[in-house]
């Protein structure tokens, strides 16, 4: 079973807490790490956010998120690149070594063009990431987000992309996005040392929502332990982020959620 | 471009019409074919449904649907098989040669077990289908339906399954379920003469709903003409069903929907 030393709270799970509150909640519950969102950093500013994270002693498993490379106009694409370079700076500042990439949907482009813009975008930011010792984690999303969030929607595609680059570019395996894929175990094995993060939640039936459809581990059908074992066999023994977008969880008192999260993490992952 | 001689109204698109009304609507709009649902047959009974279909002169592109093979208890699985054999009889009676299979979700089984039950279920009904000159069309569904409707959720998996059998078992390519797949064109080519049906609708952003999330062709991002050309290159020149689950469309007057459907079919497919 997974150990609590590997647990990381992805901030979206406690979306109504600001960064300081989320850090304090982790400390109260002895959760050793946190996955940070850029919009949460903005609330305090980068310097202050970096300071409170440093002082907390928490590990920072990742920064969410860069990406969204696809756009019809060159100028818009250049702005998106600039924002990704800024995200790399932020990752450095807050003390993580992984920037999660949600690569982007179609955004009025053809599927083939969007895929090419994504590959080109990663190629454009990878040297700066490498120079700053930041790794770029391509997170394939569930195909129900292919149109509007990430046309990279299988681990196979993410592996294809990551393999174009050196060790600066890897993949993030989030069980919610990948659990049903008939090739998931072979693609996890193929990803190997390119795995930069492992995210857990669950797929409840019926699904409560599209964007806010993720559930607490144990409340759904995902074969969590089998997937966790697979990423370990592939070589990933790093932090495991719990990343849950769910209105009901957001509406519940955070201490209650974190208690449940720890219990379920130990029972199911 | 596609021609109206290939257009078939899948009955779900005009869900509030009964079989007789749907047939009359097809005749009014000179739509030459219909895809029939089992629950719509039940309203009139099989004999009467077969009679009014025969007298209409419409082609029947398929019967929706058999499948749902996965269940933890042997007895339940046997009941599901019996229902599939009944569906084959119904297909024969109403004058179609294709029974669509929505293979089934997890239904409290592990992913591996569910996949095995599906393969075993198809193997159990295929001889009876062959004997009755009915083809079984495995329709892979979008992965967002993997848990509760079909763990067969890519054309690649459907092809793997179909290839275990002779020409009695083939695949149905529905663009809504498949459009985002990076391997879709190679899997369509691979499916070749195993393609038993082609279904169109569209993926609107944002998606209006999960189950009722399909839109009229032209209102979304699916590259319809490219996909239609691909199934033709693979050898499929048969009927094209318009299959739209969408509350707003169901709430609209059916003649208005069929006018729009014909226009969009010609413009976008």
pLDDT per residue as tens digits for the range B235-259: 999 999 999 999 999 999 999 999 9
CA distances for A76 relative to A68, A113, A121, angstroms = 11, 15, 12
- Check pLDDT > 90 for residue B2: no
How far apart are the C-alpha atoms of B181 and B158, rounded to whole Å? 13
Prior bond of A65 cis (ω within 30°): yes
How far apart are the C-alpha atoms of A71 and A80, rounded to whole Å? 9
Contacts made by residues A157-166, CB under 8 angstroms, sequence distance 24+:
A157/B182, A158/A191, A159/A187, A159/A190, A159/A191, A159/A194, A160/B182, A161/A103, A161/A118, A161/A119, A161/A122, A162/A138, A162/A191, A162/A194, A163/A194, A164/A119, A164/A123, A165/A122, A165/A123, A165/A126, A166/A130
Cross-chain Cβ contact A182/B110 below 8 Å:
no
How far apart are the C-alpha atoms of B16 and B3, rounded to whole Å? 26
Chain B's closest residue to A178, CA to CA, is: B143
User: What's the pLDDT at B3?
Assistant: 92
Which residues in chain A have Cβ-Cβ distances shorter than 8 Å to B114?
Answer: none
Cross-chain Cβ contact A153/B207 below 8 Å:
no
By Cβ distance, the residue of A111, A180, A205 closest to B151 is A180
Write the ipTM. 0.96
User: What's the pLDDT at A29?
Assistant: 98
pTM: 0.97
* Chain center to CA of A121: 18
Identify the H or E element spanning B267.
helix B254-268
Cross-chain Cβ contact A157/B182 below 8 Å:
yes
The region that residue A108 occupies, defined by phi over 0 for left and psi between -120 and 50 for alpha, beta otherwise, is left
By Cβ distance, the residue of A147, A206, A221 closest to B205 is A147
Residue B197's pLDDT band (boundaries 50, 70, 90)? Answer: very high
Residue B222's pLDDT band (boundaries 50, 70, 90)? Answer: very high
| B93, B46 Cβ separation under 8 angstroms | yes
- Check pLDDT > 80 for residue B1: no
Q: What is the mean pLDDT of residues B105-119?
A: 98
How far apart are the C-alpha atoms of B174 and B167, rounded to whole Å? 20
**What residues in chain A have per-residue pLDDT under 70?**
none
Which residues in chain A have Cβ-Cβ distances shorter than 8 Å to B144?
Answer: 142-144, 207, 210
By Cβ distance, the residue of A146, A181, A210 closest to B210 is A210
Pair of tokens at residue A268: 């199911």
User: What's the pLDDT at A2?
Assistant: 79
């Amino acid at each position: 079973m997974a150990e609590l030393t590997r647990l990381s709270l992805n901030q979206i799970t406690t979306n109504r807490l600001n960064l300081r509150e989320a850090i304090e909640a982790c400390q109260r519950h002895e959760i050793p790490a946190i996955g940070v969102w850029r919009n949460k950093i903005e609330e305090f500013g980068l310097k202050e956010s970096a300071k409170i994270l440093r002082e907390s002693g928490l590990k920072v498993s990742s920064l969410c998120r860069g990406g969204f490379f696809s756009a019809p106009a060159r100028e818009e694409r250049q702005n998106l690149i600039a924002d990704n370079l800024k995200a790399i700076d932020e990752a450095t500042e807050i003390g993580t070594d992984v920037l999660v990439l949600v690569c982007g949907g179609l955004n009025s482009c053809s599927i083939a063009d969007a895929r090419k813009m994504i590959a080109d975008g990663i190629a454009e930011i990878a040297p700066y990431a490498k120079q700053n010792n930041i790794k770029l984690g391509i997170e394939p999303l569930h195909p129900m987000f292919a149109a509007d969030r990430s046309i990279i929607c299988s681990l196979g595609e993410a592996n294809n992309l990551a393999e174009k680059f050196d060790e600066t570019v890897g993949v993030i395996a989030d069980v919610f996005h990948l659990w049903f894929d008939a090739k998931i175990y072979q693609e996890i094995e193929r990803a190997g040392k390119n795995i930069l993060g492992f995210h857990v939640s669950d797929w409840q039936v019926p699904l409560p929502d599209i964007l806010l459809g993720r559930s607490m581990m144990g409340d759904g059908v995902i074969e969590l332990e089998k997937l966790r074992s697979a990423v370990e066999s592939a070589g990933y023994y790093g932090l495991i982020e719990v990343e849950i977008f769910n209105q009901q969880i957001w509406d519940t008192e955070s201490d209650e959620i974190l208690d449940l999260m720890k219990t379920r993490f130990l029972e199911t992952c």
